[in-house]
Chain A
């Protein structure tokens, strides 16, 4: 790399790493926030589930059918089943969400009606009283409903899912993670790129650089590479935050249980594609930032572009795996999302990866060329 480009990269890094506030908000805070928020959410959900499943619930059954008594008594170790009638007053008490009671009223001749076939004009009505805001009661209600639904059916259905937990996990990751990664990388670029070029225009420091003998393409390349490097750090921070909070979020104790085990080559491809994506993002945002009059204007210009990228990130959720057409891998941003989808779904092939990386390098080259032209344009650089 040319020495002036390196000088620009060093200056951008010195600016970034020397500003503790910027460093904190761009690199440390995203990962930390994601870890804290996701962990808290996971812990909260887990605590609700755990609490609900450990609390004792009393189920009072009026007119308990003999056919169902053994089933109800063996439903749950935290469930006390009593056979007794209840009053309207007992029902009223359920409004208190602290009361862990569930009341079921069967018709007196439930077993006989079911045994003789359900007459259409005399359907046995079963009444279940519970409080849905009480987690323990809700849990028991779901189980009891399930039992009753199956009981009343003339046939049973066996749902035998043959997919391994690994492939189910991989499918989930391939739909969620590309979008998350793209969003994090983009937010990293957004945090610094507008102020790097539009900010320099606004502050008048870009003109000071433009009167040095440095070539404009060296300046353009230096800006894009340094912004990419910093955005990558921000993206890595977010990624670490997700990786650390994932076990707490999914409540499985270990992300590997959900199929999160990938090979070294998968990680290598991910890293390459992430870097290529960041280059493209930094290039695009740099171009818009150079066009903008000031940082505020740059933010306004980048927002619609950000929405397009976010939408592209959502597409894997609506499709069945990565595309097989190589032409798709020529579309900037979307190609990276497709490759990431394939990697997370354990369907990675090398040709799409090569096409993606090669096209992204070409697009970055084009962006450097355009940015160079923009640095040469007095209308763009000095317009107010």
Chain B
């Protein structure tokens, strides 16, 4: 198996404001969001990061996409370091999260061209890919409509397409089906499986057990910023469902509380 992604001791700490201290019910001034995270992902697999809200999944993905810098540790995507080669890393990944928005003023057609240019996609390749992606996600019907006038589902499909304009080798999706209607969610998950079959590496974060069971080849369970289990789905589940296994680990971590 070809190792495409490798993290080693990835750690990120945030300062807590007074407001955040109240919410977290703590007097600590700093919070370790991701604590010494080490895992790998391989070519042609879907790797799922499973954990509750606030576990550090999104922070991990933001470090992998170079939006934020780790305090210590590093990650390599296709051999490029997120710390020392962030531009190269960004050229190799497609990153999608609800935090990334598209300018309301422009049309899908314009945005596809714009992001293709920033990713250095050749003109002929761009046109071919645009047609293929627009056809597949039904964007061709509203290619010249401003994003402001699109429905939420359409916007999400467009965001997905835009994140993949350059046909990246590594795809990082934060909660890929969050907020999607059932039809769009199905389109997205089917497409992710198709990409996996094409040999792409997909890293996704989720707190939905069924999604992990249906999509992921390997899974990492993350609780309070720490990776408590990582491996093939069968190995991690150890004969249980992923949901039961998760709660067992969660109880162990939290000393019985749920």
Contacts across chains A and B counted by CB atoms under 8 Å:
59
What count of chain B residues pass the 8 Å CB interface test? 27
Question: When A205-B102, A207-B99 are in contact, do A382 and B118 touch as well, CB less than 8 Å?
Answer: no
Q: A176 to nearest B CB, angstroms? A: 38
Residue in B88, B95, B110, B117 whose beta carbon sits within 8 Å of that of A211 in the complex? B95
A14-B110, A213-B88, A213-B91 given; A203·B68 CB < 8 A: no
- Please indicate the chain A residues that have their CB under 8 angstroms from the CB of B101 in the complex: 203-205, 207-208
In the assembled complex, A212 has its CB within 8 A of some CB on chain B: yes
Asked if B137 is an interface residue, CB under 8 A from chain A, the answer is no
Contact for A204 among B88, B95, B100, CB less than 8 A: B100
When distances are taken between beta carbons in the complex, the residues of chain B under 8 Å from A211 are 65-67, 90, 93, 95, 100
Find residues 106-130 in chain B having any chain A CB closer than 8 Å to their own CB.
Answer: 106, 110, 114-115, 117-120
Query: Which residues of the partner chain A approach B209 to less than 8 Å between Cβ atoms?
Result: none
B118 lies within 8 A of A7 (CB):
yes
Question: Which of A15, A204, A382 contacts B106, CB < 8 Å?
Answer: A15
Which residues of chain A from 185 to 215 have any CB-CB distance to chain B below 8 Å in the complex? 203-205, 207-215
Given the known interface contacts A204-B99, A204-B100, the answer about A213 and B120 at a Cβ–Cβ threshold of 8 Å is yes
Bound complex: CA of A207 vs CA of B95, how far in Å?
11
What is the chain B residue whose CB lies nearest that of A22? B105
Assembled-state Cα–Cα distance A4/B162 (Å): 17
**Contact, CB under 8 Å: B68 / A207:** no
Q: Which residues of A contact B93 (CB under 8 A)?
A: 211
Q: How far is the CA of A114 from the CA of B233 in the complex (A)?
A: 120
Taken residue by residue from 346 to 384, chain A's Cβ proximity to chain B (1 for < 8 Å, 0 otherwise) reads as 000000000000000000000000000000001000100
A7 and B99 within 8 A (CB)? no
Distance between B109 CB and nearest chain A CB, rounded to angstroms: 12
In the complex, chain A residues whose CB is within 8 Å of the CB of B68: 378, 382
Nearest neighbor of B66 in chain A, beta-carbon distance: A211
Interface on chain A toward B: helix, strand, loop, or mixed SS?
Answer: helix
Q: Is A19 an interface residue (CB 8 A)?
A: yes
Tell me whether B103 is interfacial, beta carbon within 8 Å. Answer: yes
Query: Contacts A19-B105, A203-B103, A205-B103 known; A215 to B67 CB distance under 8 Å?
Result: no
Question: Given the complex, which residues of A lie within 8 Å of B91, measured CB to CB?
Answer: 213
**Residue B104, interface by CB 8 Å:** yes
CA gap between A203 and B88 in the complex, in Å: 26
Contacts of B114 in A (CB 8 A): 7, 11
Distance in Å: Cβ of A20 to nearest Cβ of chain B:
12
Q: Most chain-B Cβ atoms within 10 A of its Cβ — which of A11, A14, A209, A382? A: A11
* B69 is an interface residue with CB less than 8 A from chain A: yes
- Considering the chains assembled together, what is the distance between the CA atoms of A208 and B118 in angstroms? 11
CA–CA, A378 and B12, complex, Å? 12
Once bound together, how far apart are the Cα atoms of A4 and B120, in whole Å?
9
Contacts of B88 in A (CB 8 A): 213
Interface pair A382/B87, CB less than 8 Å apart: no
Question: A253 near B: Cβ within 8 Å?
Answer: no
Supposing A212-B118, A213-B91 touch, asked if A382 and B105 sit within 8 A by C-beta, the answer is no
A378 neighbours in B (Cβ, 8 Å): 67-69
The answer for the CA separation of A378 and B63 in the assembled complex, in Å, is: 11
What is the CA–CA distance of A215 and B118 in the complex, to the nearest angstrom? 10
> What residue in chain A is nearest B115 (Cβ atoms)?
A212
CA–CA, A11 and B102, complex, Å: 13
Instruction: Identify the closest chain B residue to A215 (Cβ).
Output: B87
- A210 and B67: CB pair below 8 A? yes
Chain B residues contacting A214 (CB-CB under 8 Å) are: 87, 118
Which residues in chain A, 9-49, are within 8 Å of chain B measured between CB atoms? 11, 14-15, 18-19
A sample of 10 more A-B contacts (CB under 8 A), given A213-B88, A213-B118, is A7-B118, A203-B103, A205-B101, A207-B99, A210-B67, A211-B95, A213-B90, A213-B119, A215-B87, A378-B67
What are 25 residue pairs bridging A and B, where the CB atoms are less than 8 Å apart in the complex? A4-B117, A14-B106, A15-B106, A18-B105, A19-B105, A203-B101, A203-B103, A204-B99, A204-B100, A204-B101, A205-B101, A205-B102, A207-B101, A208-B102, A208-B162, A210-B67, A212-B119, A213-B87, A213-B119, A213-B120, A214-B87, A214-B118, A215-B87, A378-B68, A382-B68
On B, residues with C-beta under 8 Å from A are 65-69, 87-88, 90-91, 93, 95, 99-106, 110, 114-115, 117-120, 162
